[in-house]
Amino acid sequence: MKYALITGRILFSLIFILSSFGHFKTETIAFAGSQGLPFASFLVPLSGVIELIAGLSIIVGYRAKVGAWLLVIFLIPVTFLFHQFWKVTDPMAYQMQFVMFMKNISMMGGALLIAYFGSGELSIDTSGKAQPYSLASGKEAVA
């Protein structure tokens, strides 16, 4: 089961790490500004740094709960400012924005699970710590 946790952390974090680099492109900054984001030239690169740091912290399991909370804080405004599917009249654009909105909502759910339960086994946060023992299974319980 410990390999499922590290695999899940990697798969969850990849989207944030890979997309973080796009936040430094002038096109991305210009798009965010055109959508009404104030201080886009500062906030968009900052969000890229947050995505990168939070994604890496979850993968390696170093302060993964903090990294997960950073992603929740990042995802809330991004989801509701940039994926307003309810305002879109074109059916194709509506569908795309709806899917992006729901993807972000799902990622918030995943981040909240990590924020609550932590990184689990095979992580810096739990290295060197004794894992809780489960009487039911006779095995170490996942933290």
Task: Estimate the share of the chain in helix, then strand, then coil, as percent rounded to the nearest 5.
Answer: 70, 0, 25
Query: CA–CA separation, 95 vs 69, rounded Å?
Result: 28
pLDDT digits (tens, 9 = 90+) for 35-82: 899 999 999 999 999 999 999 999 999 999 999 999 999 999 999 999
Q: Which residue has the tokens 């009249």?
A: 89
The 10s digit of each residue's pLDDT in 3-14 is 999 999 999 999
